[in-house]
A and B are shown apart, each in its own frame.
Chain A
Amino acid sequence: MNSREICLSGTGVTKVFGFGNNKTVAVNNVDFNFYSGELVSIVGESGSGKTTLIKMLLGLTNMTEGEIQFLGKPRDIHNRSKKKEYWKNIQAIFQDPFSSYNIFSKIDTVLLDCIHMRGGRGLPKQKKIEMMEEACRFVNLKFAEMTNKYPFELSGGQMQRLMIARIFLLKPKILLADEPTSMIDACSRATILDMLLNLRNEIGMTIIFITHDMGLAYYISDTVYIMERGKIVEFGSANDVILNPQADYTKRLLHDVPKIHEPWEFSKRRAVVASESSV
């Protein structure tokens, strides 16, 4: 938040799946401005189009309509070399660590690919190993134990940490984290979040964090975007949005966050839902 430079912005971003009667609008005319160095959370329930938005930001899915600007210029990823250049700056961590890795390639390959992507193909072997060791040390893994293993031989938390090691090697400007902690138990979750935040401080990148957990979003983020059925219904600084919500959907999401000290009143919740649906 030191500089208010926009690193990624979009206007009228829309994604439609299917056509005719089967048409589903996954992302509906979304505008956003992500500033450099910020940690942005995109919050919404499942099916609200978060992941589709992420895929479009990454350039893995084509937009139906709209424009995305990267570092102030319209994004140009129409051929492979341009895409590769783009992906040096923007990387992602996916939700399910178990399906994120090719089960046929070893951990060394995963990390080596990152070094090669940063132009380290010609480096001596010893230097590459040192880099991989450093990356593993950063995420509290021992490279000596990782080498020559397959990703599926690790635990879910270890796999997700390896994912962060990958980002450590790639040093992108923007990281898109698609619910990286949702498949992991609560203890590992804190570790992984800490690592992500450390990494952010270390290389000064922008993190776009996708989650459905309002509490988590409040805890870590500078800016929060709330998505409902493909639309952004509210955005602003974390304090504004979560402590003083304007949109009904945000209020409902906040209401659904379980609070440890209060008994969870099911009937009250149902009343809220009923009043909403009648509106």
Chain B
Amino acid sequence: MKNTFKQIFRTANFLIGFIIISIVLLFITIYPIFNPGNPLRMIGQDSFTPPGTYFSLYDSLDVSHVYTFRLEGADDNRIYAKLSDTDREHIKEWLLLFNDYDDIFEIRAEDIDLEDTEGLLGLWWEHFDPEVRFDNMTIAERRVFARLDVNMDRLFDFYDKEVWMYNPESGESEYLKSVGTLDYVNVSDVANVRILPLGTDNFGRDTLKQLVSAIGTSLMIGLIAGLIATGLGLLLGLIAGYIGGIVDDFIMFFTNLFTVIPGIVLLILISYSIGQEHRGATTVALVIGLTSWVWTTRAVRAQVMSLRNRDHVNLSKLSGHSMPKIVVKDILPYIASYVVMAFILQVSSGILAEAGLSMLGLGPATTESATLGLMMNWALRYNAHLSGAWWAYYPVILVIALISFALNMINTGLDRVFNPQLRG
């Protein structure tokens, strides 16, 4: 037994899967300790806030200790940041129009690097001429470029900014402080800072926090579904295989019935008929478990049938052991490795089934808890892909893929140890 465990932990596949699952489990246990609270609380007013560190602008003005830094390139960075993406696009647009208009000036679209602020500004100042009139250009469009030219000059205004506070009692604004370009505050001094490593979703909920709780819920759904499916399959398979006869016929009739009906159709019909309000995570797990026991039953039955006529079972009978004892001591240990492997696969397919159901909108009720499938469903329903909000669905896809990959790796690793003939 000890040797088998050693061998299992020396199998590369098992080890990879085991490490991934351990990391995931460790992460979902530790993360809520550092970031407690309800994962479904809506913290943001905007939908799909990008990932990053957020600190209160209001509180940052109240920080008492202001540091002075003369950092190299600070002004450059400021200019880069001030020149917005739309302004950069406008510059490019004007340059390309000017290229067609002017015979001497030549530039290709590929040569214009939108990230290269210095280059863009240089090109602009060298070639922009408010007098130039392009064909088919409206006055409004021409004014856009004229305004852009004025804004360009403002990029270099590095005056101190004054902060005034409105006092509702006197009805007047009072001078508070002025902020210069060299003033810095430490983020840890700011009263309210929130790090959102994966931004927020469409409802303004912390995506990472939600993801962590969703992994937990999905794993639980997979575990419950796997336990039910494996337990039911094992029980029915043992009974059918060991007792045989009419009991076997009866069980196999039901098993065949369930085999013929496609699982996903059954799953959808049952989920739909339960109704949105009554569908908690546990109910969904139950539904998935009750529809996926069929193959375990068939496989266990086949194994038990070949085991029950073996000599060691006969010897056990001759030693006067009762039927339950024979099943537990002489049959179960022989199929235990298979059952464990089937269980791991059932957990993996349970997680996938939940994701599939929830994507279709037949998952657990949306207000109670997040699951991986529900997160996908929300991202899909609120067009995260159109908003470019990759953080709302890529991590979820990655986690689903990672968990099923890890569970399958564990399974093949165990397979290699328990069925060494298959090792190729």
Give the B-binding residues of A (Cβ under 8 A): 55, 58, 60, 80, 84, 87-88, 91-92, 94-96, 99-105, 110, 113-114, 116-117
Contact = CB atoms under 8 A, between A and B. Distances in A.
A103 to B, nearest CB: 8
Contact of A104 (B318, B323, B329): B329
Contacts of A110: 319
24 contacts: A60-B314, A60-B317, A80-B322, A80-B323, A84-B320, A87-B319, A87-B320, A88-B320, A92-B314, A92-B318, A94-B311, A94-B314, A94-B315, A99-B310, A99-B311, A99-B312, A100-B312, A101-B312, A102-B316, A102-B330, A104-B334, A105-B329, A113-B320, A113-B321
Interface in B294-327: 310-312, 314-323
B333 interface: yes
Contacts of A104: 329, 333-334
Given A99-B310, A100-B312, A101-B312, A58 B329 contact: no
A104 B314 CA distance: 15
Nearest to B326: A102
B31 to A, nearest CB: 41
Contacts of B311: 94-96, 99-100
Contacts, number: 51
A58 B310 contact: no
Given A80-B322, A92-B315, 17 more contacts: A55-B314, A58-B314, A58-B318, A60-B318, A80-B323, A87-B320, A88-B320, A92-B314, A94-B315, A96-B311, A99-B311, A100-B315, A102-B329, A102-B330, A105-B329, A113-B320, A117-B319
Contacts of B310: 99
Nearest to A163: B315
Contacts of B317: 60, 87
A100 B315 CA distance: 7
A117 B320 CA distance: 7
Contacts of A100: 311-312, 315
Contacts of A101: 312, 315
A233 to B, nearest CB: 28
A104 B312 CA distance: 11
A60 B319 CA distance: 12
Contacts of A116: 320
A91 B318 contact: yes
Which 9 A-B residue pairs are closest in the complex by CB-CB distance? A104-B333, A113-B319, A94-B311, A100-B311, A84-B320, A102-B312, A117-B320, A99-B311, A102-B330
Contacts of B315: 92, 94, 100-102
B336 to A, nearest CB: 9
Nearest to B310: A99
A58 B323 CA distance: 17
A37 to B, nearest CB: 22
- Looking at B312, B318, B320, B329, which has the most chain A CB atoms within 10 Å of its CB? B318
A181 to B, nearest CB: 15
B304 to A, nearest CB: 15
A60 B316 CA distance: 11
A80 B321 CA distance: 9
The interface centre, meaning the residue of B319, B321, B322, B334 with most chain A CB atoms within 10 A of its CB, is B319
A88 B318 CA distance: 8
Contacts of A80: 322-323
A220 to B, nearest CB: 23
A22 B416 CA distance: 38
B340 to A, nearest CB: 15
Nearest to B312: A102
A235 B403 CA distance: 68
